[in-house]
Structure 1
């Protein structure tokens, strides 16, 4: 892996878009990117697009599979239109979804979008998966989960031996940050205890389903972006939305919705608890790494306050 964030000029982007899509890129501007990616928006033939460059080889192959899976079944996720290599970097050209973050709206404006939001998320979690696909956890470019079981995935995800990437040597946070080992170990034990309720369920899970990754024009939900997709229990996405609309218990909203569909959620409380621990542990170590002590403390206290009946 090349660890240098891509440095690409507007002239290079014009050439890539012309060669890949046969279009003239205009109004090229830098957008916020990730740790190892550089992102630009551009306009071509009166439509808006995004092009991303990554220092990781084949970084966008899996996203292409995910984008096509979602878009083909009516989920408002930006389609991937082109993939390739430029110098030492991979690139991805995709549609640009109109709208702004749901997080930008006031609570009452978000609440007005709740019925459509529930429909969109339920549709995403209910995707018809390829009958040949298998596995749990993160997807590979062929659409298979990398792990044979849910427990194998979470043990690997929170394992100490992370060889590369964002979580390499993350256990050092126990001595270099606010991350408390005794608290983490307690929450991890609870996660493992409750994981037996999540383990039988295999759905498409966005895995970063929060208000900054849902776009709206203020009247409707226009798109979902930045999936960190896994195969697992859809209750993980429900748990991720717990603070999406102030004053609204999102989990109960989804519980009632599934009951109205004639598909009541079995083991609801236990699966929700397991999902909260799965997402909360990851949030704790992320906040610790970023130095966001206040967010860490809030998440820690929320997890420890969940009644543990196992």
Structure 2
């Protein structure tokens, strides 16, 4: 799911002023990270150790990481330790330990499958967090409640015509880009037909569980990053994102078997997966249409049509 906005504008001189206030000795090295759509991210070294500093226009993600760190205290969970956070020059910042490793898409099929036990273990811990004191679906508000009363309401709002921010006026893409209205609406209709299978299933989800956000070291998941889209949804939304990136690896059956063994609800698993796959795909299609990349758009469309055909669900 995409949550793109404009990155904070902050330069190295400003960052060095902040770091001088935090660390008693000079930082040895600092360089801008190549990733990050909504945050300004830098890698730095201090006293021989590697850290990451992130700047954002709001502090919701950083507050959530502190909560998650406490909720999973004592658990072996691949979350970078958050050391410092606060506000600076109209932005919020957080400094964490840097996790060393590679993105999962750099691995072979055998290596990807060898990482699955650690991925599944981490996800089931995340999806088992008690939500009894929280309400709602979708993105979390400042009280860590979901912002929608129903899952269906979240889906409808996510793709509604009237939006603010990055997606304001996105319906114009049907007229001004290669985003095909009939195909998009046909896939949307199928997603909404499948939505009841996900309704009532509420778990803490990362929702952007793709290769850029999974750090692997020695065939083990050692880091999950970018918690900006954390939501209350069916846990299948996390699984679907990863499964779709490796469509030929038959990961769906492996996840279903593992979740069933761990007493997680796997009823109507295929229908729930298809609903999530369609949601991720529709969001990706409109995102790449807005950015003007027809190759990425076609890749997502071809992939989701292949998935629908594989599970014997008619396209429209």
TM bracket, shorter-chain basis: 0.7 to 0.9
Q: Distance in 1 between matches of 2:7 and 2:214?
A: 29
Q: TM-score, normalised by structure 1?
A: 0.88
Which residue does the alignment assign to 1:300? 301
Q: Distance in 2 between matches of 1:3 and 1:218?
A: 35
Which residue does the alignment assign to 2:149? 148
- Tell me, yes or no, if structure 1 residue 8 matches structure 2 residue 11: yes
Contact 1:70 1:76 in 2 (8 A): no
Which residue does the alignment assign to 1:97? 99
Rate the CA distance shift 1:243–1:268 in 2: closer, same or farther, 3 A.
closer
Which residue does the alignment assign to 1:205? 205
Which residue does the alignment assign to 1:182? 182
Query: How big is the shift at 1:255?
Result: 0.9
**Structure 1 spans left out of the alignment, 5+ residues:** none
Query: How big is the shift at 1:111?
Result: 2.2
Bigger relative contact order, structure 1 or 2, given CA contacts below 8 A and separation 6+?
Answer: 2
Q: Distance in 1 between matches of 2:249 and 2:37?
A: 33
Contact 2:285 2:301 in 1 (8 A): yes
Q: Distance in 1 between matches of 2:126 and 2:146?
A: 17
- Tell me, yes or no, if structure 1 residue 79 matches structure 2 residue 72: no
Q: Please state whether the residue corresponding to 2:243 is helix, strand or coil.
A: coil
Q: Distance in 2 between matches of 1:31 and 1:142?
A: 31
Q: Which of 11-20 and 228-237 deviates more?
A: 11-20
Q: Which of 247-256 and 37-46 deviates more?
A: 37-46
**Structure 2 spans left out of the alignment, 5+ residues:** none
Rate the CA distance shift 1:23–1:167 in 2: closer, same or farther, 3 A.
farther
Q: Distance in 2 between matches of 1:277 and 1:231?
A: 18
Count of matched residue pairs: 305
Query: How big is the shift at 1:7?
Result: 2.3
Contact 2:7 2:40 in 1 (8 A): no
- Aligned alpha-carbon RMSD (Å): 2.5
Which residue does the alignment assign to 1:38? 40
Rate the CA distance shift 1:35–1:256 in 2: closer, same or farther, 3 A.
closer
Query: How big is the shift at 1:218?
Result: 2.8
Which residue does the alignment assign to 2:266? 265
Contact 1:21 1:82 in 2 (8 A): no
Contact 2:188 2:278 in 1 (8 A): yes
Q: Distance in 1 between matches of 2:35 and 2:60?
A: 14
Q: Please state whether the residue corresponding to 2:51 is helix, strand or coil.
A: strand
Q: Distance in 1 between matches of 2:270 and 2:29?
A: 49
Q: Please state whether the residue corresponding to 2:226 is helix, strand or coil.
A: coil
Q: Distance in 2 between matches of 1:116 and 1:3?
A: 34
Q: TM-score, normalised by structure 2?
A: 0.86
Q: Distance in 2 between matches of 1:136 and 1:128?
A: 14
Which residue does the alignment assign to 1:276? 277
Contact 1:60 1:83 in 2 (8 A): no
